[in-house]
Chains A and B, each alone.
Chain A
Amino acid sequence: MSNVNVFAVKTLTQKEYFSSGHRACQGCGETLAVRLVHKALGRDVVVASATGCMEIVSSPLPLTSWEMPWIHVAFENAAAVATGVEAGLKALMRKGKIPNKKIHVVGMAGDGGTADIGLQALSGALERGHDFIYVCYDNEAYMNTGIQRSSSTPYCAATTTSPAGSVKPGQTTWKKNMPAIAAAHNIPYVATACPSYPMDLVEKVKKAAETPGPAYVHILSVCPTGWGMPGEDIIKFGRLAVETGAFPLYEIENGRYRITVDVPELLPIETYLKPQRRFRHITPEMTEIIAERVAKEWELLKRRVEFSALD
């Protein structure tokens, strides 16, 4: 049963900005995230995309799934290209070469394009204070190239470059905390989101768009192919990620933390992990280690909410 206030979604626009005929896998959570982000942003946007799943499924010449202006250049530079677009539009409007009008500039990349190879360009763009929105579509590995680990892959997850073996438990490192890295740039808006909570996602993207200066939105995008689950379960697993505390939904507005989907009591982490093929090898000991870490992070997040409300 859905958590969503039934009928609320009907308030969202019927207009699609990402078109059918794209070649994403059955039940692609990332596509759904893209679709919702652009329902939130509307018509007046320019998108700069990194190389990755969304780029490949949407732009096989001579076709495009994009209804709005969209540019892809390379893997690691979505933030640099997006801020180039922003700088260009700003200069052209100021010099009277194009009419003055609010155009939202969006940079988009997967977790590899954000947390690994694109981190430097993103840091530069956030630091320089451009008025743009950066969206990380996090499916927790390099799915486009065949499910290799990234720094955003969670602990113990098996990928094709972090296989579970007799000595190694799969991924040996903890998921990089990208929202915290973005927040460390003291930008005005940072949020996490998940398409399983469409109204929460849309509201955050709208807030990101309305915020002057850089905004960072990190979206958990369930990948049935890479995680090993039926495509029909993507919404369920997004919800489980939130309800177990594996991926809390929160926002940081001018330094102030707020949990947007509260979970009074976290569900046991194994309800999220066990049904996924990438975690099917995990032992009770590994589960315990993960559960402890998740509980600690959740407490830390709640503390941050309290502390940041003080000033």
Chain B
Amino acid sequence: MAKADIEILWTELEPGCVVTEPGSSKAYRTGDWRSFRPVLNKDRCIQCGLCWIFCPDMAYAQDGEGYYESNPEYCKGCGVCAKECPTNAIGMVEEEEPEL
């Protein structure tokens, strides 16, 4: 994983600031932007894949049983999946404030 920008020395930059690790943004977790999270009701899910294909954050992946689950590390909680689910199998649930 790449160092954080604040830690990088000028001598460590590639010429022209070329980034050599493809897809390295995966190190940046967008999940904490979320105030609602999608929750799947497997009884209703028909495994059609619409939640997966309409996700702008590439947060969905299929589990071993074929269900699509959103990855909390990246899901920003936009709710497109819940809205587009043809069987209303996804609900949006408010995230609880972390206890201090």
A residues contacting B by CB (< 8 A) are 1-2, 4, 6-7, 9-10, 12, 14, 16, 18-24, 26-29, 31-32, 35-36, 58-68, 195, 198, 230-236
Q: Which of B52, B59, B79 has the most CB of A within 10 A?
A: B79
Q: Which of A24, A63, A64, A68 has the most CB of B within 10 A?
A: A63
Contact of A26 with B78 at beta-carbon distance under 8 Å, contacts A19-B25, A20-B26, A64-B24 already known: yes
Q: Which residue of A lies closest to B28 (CB)?
A: A21
Contacts of B62 in A (CB 8 A): 14
Bound form: Cα–Cα A58–B23 in Å: 9
B91 on interface, CB distance cutoff 8 Å? no
Bound form: Cα–Cα A245–B29 in Å: 38
15 more contacts with CB within 8 A, not counting A2-B84, A10-B48, A22-B30, are A6-B48, A18-B58, A19-B24, A20-B57, A22-B25, A23-B28, A27-B56, A35-B58, A60-B25, A67-B22, A67-B23, A68-B22, A198-B54, A232-B82, A232-B83
A-B contact pairs, 5 of them (CB 8 A): A63-B2, A63-B27, A64-B24, A234-B56, A235-B83
Bound form: Cα–Cα A29–B56 in Å: 7
Q: Are A65 and B79 in contact, CB atoms less than 8 angstroms apart?
A: no
Bound form: Cα–Cα A19–B26 in Å: 6
Contacts of A236 in B (CB 8 A): 83
Contacts of A23 in B (CB 8 A): 28, 30
Contacts of B2 in A (CB 8 A): 62-63
Q: Are B46 and A6 in contact, CB atoms less than 8 angstroms apart?
A: yes
Q: Are A232 and B19 in contact, CB atoms less than 8 angstroms apart?
A: no
B37 on interface, CB distance cutoff 8 Å? no
B residues contacting A by CB (< 8 A) are 2-3, 5, 8, 17, 19, 21-30, 33, 46, 48-50, 52-59, 61-62, 71, 73-74, 76-80, 82-84, 86, 92
Query: Which of A1, A6, A61, A231 contacts B19 (CB under 8 A)?
Result: A61
Q: Are A63 and B25 in contact, CB atoms less than 8 angstroms apart?
A: yes
Contacts of B21 in A (CB 8 A): 64
Bound form: Cα–Cα A235–B59 in Å: 17
Q: Are A1 and B86 in contact, CB atoms less than 8 angstroms apart?
A: yes
Bound form: Cα–Cα A58–B56 in Å: 13
Query: Which of A6, A27, A66, A230 contacts B23 (CB under 8 A)?
Result: A66
Contacts of A60 in B (CB 8 A): 5, 25
Contacts of A9 in B (CB 8 A): 48-50, 52-53
Contacts of B73 in A (CB 8 A): 20
Bound form: Cα–Cα A1–B71 in Å: 24
Bound form: Cα–Cα A242–B58 in Å: 25
Contacts of B46 in A (CB 8 A): 6
Q: Are B25 and A58 in contact, CB atoms less than 8 angstroms apart?
A: yes
Closest 8 CB pairs of A and B: A232-B79, A21-B25, A27-B78, A19-B23, A231-B78, A20-B74, A21-B28, A26-B78
Bound form: Cα–Cα A28–B29 in Å: 17
Q: From residue A1, how far is it (CB to closest CB) to chain B in Å?
A: 6
